[in-house]
Chains A and B, each alone.
Chain A
Amino acid sequence: MEDRRAVRKRNSGERGLALLAALALGLYVVFLVLPLLLSLRSSFTNENPLKAQNDFIGFANYTEMAGDDQLKASLTFTLILAFGVTIAANALGVGFALLLNRTSLSYRVMRTVAFLPQVLSGVIVAFVWQTILTQNGLLNTALVKIGLLDEPYPWLGSPHAALFSIGLVVTWVMSGFTTVVYLAALQSIPLELHDMASLDGVRGTQRFRKITWPMLAPGTTISVTISLITVLKLYDIITVLTGGGPANSTQSTALYIVKLAFTSDRVGYASAVAMLLLGLSALVALTVTGVLRRREVSL
């Protein structure tokens, strides 16, 4: 009797799991795999819904990319931003995590504050920063008032300054995420290791270098990979802050794809660029994950 009940219970549990898995798989297929396949198909066409054309053109879109200066500029900008932000946000994340790795209430509150930028919508974050960074914004007003600047500086109005400003905002947003990841990683380090290090007289930076940093390796893999992927497909913050300007100098590849599809009506070509971005993201993610995983294994 008991055996049968146990079997029934196990079957029921399996059915529940199968249901959940089927749902997840269904959603994945409908909202990810299917659009991806449709996009792949479109990338081999000259699809332009406003000229009612959708003919198969082979690899023409892919060969066109080789001579597309705007695409090259957008890829360069995106890669600089992705690697710059990833390095800065992860460095800040480690720093904040070390500072906030305490148990008192005030530190728990500060952890929440540190995570706040990640919770806010990118559009809201960008609007807030826009009021700070525009020509008549809070930053210029303050810097002119205290005499650090003679006249307002175009934080969003010159190509290099705009790259820096966007990098700053995205780093601020991403540092919330990286802080939480590194905090979790820090808390998973066995206390015994620190105790033993103390007994051996290992302290300060040496302890960080020999124990903490190596033990953060799994967190680093997650944090670096997700930061890179997030910035590689960044769209919302840039759209609000600069719209890709001035003169397309801050146009990310994601923004370029949207402009190609919905301003220039070149859906086929936009799909090909989207495929390129997907491939590039996969390549970067796999390479970085591979390198960082090796570091984990060697521990």
Chain B
Amino acid sequence: MIRKPLLAACVAGLLALTAACGSGDGGGKESGETALTYLVFETPSLDAKFWDDSITAASAQTPGVKINKIVAPSTDRDGYAKQLQQSGQFPDLLQSITPSNFVGAGLLKPYDKTWIDANFLLPSANSLKGEVYIPPTNSQIVPQVYYNKQLFQQAGIEKAPTTWAEFLDACAKLKAKNINPIELGGADPFAASMPLVGIVSADILGKNKNWLQDRYADKVKFADADMVTAVNKYRTLVTSGYFDKGALGVKYADSITRFTTGKSAMYPMGSWFLGSVPKDTADNFGSFPWPTDNGDVVVPFVGGGSMAISAKAKDTALAEKFGQAWSLNPANLKALIETDGAFPMIKGKTLKDYNVTVTKVFEDSYAYVGQDNNKVSAIGWATNDDALPAGLNDAFYAAAQALFTKDDVAGELKKLDEAWKTAAQ
């Protein structure tokens, strides 16, 4: 007799418990304000204070909004956004995600094109099928090669290399002087892939800007001869001993310290490294684009820097207003320029307008953005139409790590084609 009510009570309790677990979306109306959730990620440069200050400033320009910050547990905000989506907690605003991962399911709302065109130097730098889901407030070059002028001098290298032959010559001279030529933070997959990103962007996309679109159309393959030849250059660097033998055990953060303290002469890395150049020795560092066979300048380029809006946000118009306010806030740009090496892309503004203190190497690197040169999508980093299919970045990183120890270039590239086929299904 009594067992049934007891069992019912237990079930009711459990249902209440599960309901309570599922209701914490952190959104809704709060004292006349609309609460929106905003997914951010923290790095040593973009710390909690940066996000809090930027949220406060943008909120002040967006009456009626209350932002509930969600911090991704790692810098993989795409992965975390997917987890939140699957648990029914997709954020209303998402900082620096890869829109192509989410647009297919109708999860993102594009920004107003008129506003984009009116405010940004390269309005379509980050566009996806003609729509812009993340305002191109700033840009990055991924990678540039940073070098230590003093170590170059010690090795008798007079100028930064522009051709592949000069680059190999510089590496040989450095090695002969017992200086580690190239720094690699190979323990972090994204950092391990930097030389490969440079080679593929320069040698393949530099010659065919539409290579990634052609790959989507199945007109080209990773296993094609030109790609194999290009990737073999990476093997040349490895087998010649131009990286530290234990580079796959070096964490990204340690690789920065090793390079800035003179343990290696060159460092291929995204331009966010400029935020880590020590101020007191900044003049000792220079940069050059990844060298090509004939010395042509190819700039692997990425536009973005702001947030995407969930199509299912509680108030998409208000979310867009907040995104716009955040994107144009000069204080955010100042912090991004100084700490994250971001190249600002807002119309009608120069570096001076942001009241920033930047190094000579920053100015030299930034110059490539303004110059009329061959800008291509940085493979694996672009978040526009040239973004890789979901999961391909991981495969690309794994190939970069595998080719550090294995000679099978054709085999690794074939694996990428297979991964592409699966991802594109």
Shortest beta-carbon distance from B388 to chain A in Å: 11
* Residues 18-52 of A at the B interface (beta carbon under 8 Å): 18-19, 22-23, 26-27, 30, 49-52
B225 at the interface (CB under 8 A from A): no
Asked if B24 is at the interface of the complex by the 8 Å CB criterion, the answer is no
Cα–Cα distance between A243 and B82 once the two chains are bound (Å): 18
B189: Cβ under 8 A from any A Cβ: yes
B83 at the interface (CB under 8 A from A): yes
With most chain B CB atoms within 10 A of its CB, the pick from A27, A157, A245 is: A157
Are A49 and B246 within 8 A (Cβ)? no
Distance of B107 from chain A, by nearest CB (Å): 7
Shortest distance between the CB of B357 and any CB in chain A (Å): 30
Partner of B390, one of A30, A135, A245, A264: A264
B interface, CB within 8 angstroms of A: 2-3, 6-7, 10-11, 13-14, 18, 78-79, 82-83, 85-86, 101-102, 104-107, 186-189, 192, 244-251, 254, 258, 390-391, 394, 397-399, 401-402, 404-406, 415, 422-423
- Contact of A195 with B by CB under 8 A: no
Q: Which of chain B's residues have a CB closer than 8 A to the CB of A242?
A: 187
Q: A50 and B402: CB pair below 8 A?
A: no
Total number of residue pairs linking A and B with CB closer than 8 Å: 135
Q: Which residues of B contact A23 (CB under 8 A)?
A: 10, 13-14
Residue B249 contacts which of A52, A135, A247 (CB distance < 8 angstroms)? A135
Annotate A145-163 by CB proximity to B: 1 below 8 A, 0 otherwise: 0000001111111110000
Can you list, as one digit per residue, whether each of A123-146 has a CB less than 8 Å from chain B (1) or not (0)? 000000010011110000000000
3 smallest CB-CB distances across A and B, nearest first, come from A157-B249, A264-B391, A157-B248
CA distance A134 to B187 in the complex (A): 9
Q: Is A246 an interface residue (CB 8 A)?
A: yes
Chain A, range 153-176, C-beta contacts under 8 Å to B: 153-159
CB atoms of B401 and A30 under 8 A apart = no
Given the interface contacts A19-B6, A135-B187, does A246 sit within 8 Å of B246 by beta carbon?
Answer: no
CA distance A261 to B398 in the complex (A): 18
Is A262 in the interface zone, CB < 8 Å from B?
yes
In angstroms, Cα B389 to Cα A72, docked, is 23
* Cα–Cα distance between A88 and B324 once the two chains are bound (Å): 58
Interface SS majority for chain A: loop
State A245–B18 Cα separation when bound (angstroms).
Answer: 37
CB atoms of A265 and B391 under 8 A apart: yes
Q: In chain A, what residue has the closest Cβ to B73?
A: A123
Binary contact track A231-259/B, C-beta < 8 Å → 1, others 0 = 00000000000110111100000000001
Query: Once bound together, how far apart are the Cα atoms of A267 and B85, in whole Å?
Result: 13
Contact A151 B246 (CB under 8 A): yes
Q: Chain B residues with Cβ under 8 A from A69's Cβ?
A: 415
Contact A265 B249 (CB under 8 A): no
Q: Give A165's nearest chain B residue, CB to CB.
A: B249
Closest CB in chain B relative to A64 CB, distance in Å: 9
Shortest beta-carbon distance from B8 to chain A in Å: 10
Q: Chain B residue with minimal CB distance to A51?
A: B104
- CB distance B249 to A243 under 8 Å? no
Cα(A162)–Cα(B227), bound, Å: 30
- Least CB distance from A247 to B in Å reads 4
Residue of A nearest to B106 (CB): A52
In this complex, which of B101, B390, B404 has the most chain A Cβ atoms within 10 angstroms of its Cβ?
B390
Q: Is A51 within 8 A of B105, CB to CB?
A: yes
Contact A152 B390 (CB under 8 A): no
- On whether the beta carbons of B254 and A135 are closer than 8 Å, the reply is yes
Instruction: Decide if B250 touches A136 in the complex (CB within 8 Å).
Output: yes
Partner of B250, one of A18, A157, A267: A157
Are B6 and A135 neighbours in the complex by a CB distance under 8 Å? no
- Chain A residues within an 8 Å CB radius of B2: 15
Nearest B residue to A19 by beta-carbon distance?
B6
Q: Say yes or no: A264-B423 contact (C-beta < 8 A), given A49-B105, A157-B187, A245-B187.
A: yes
Is there contact, CB below 8 Å, between A247 and B187?
no
**B406 proximity list for chain A (CB < 8 A):** 247
Is B394 within 8 A of A259, CB to CB? yes
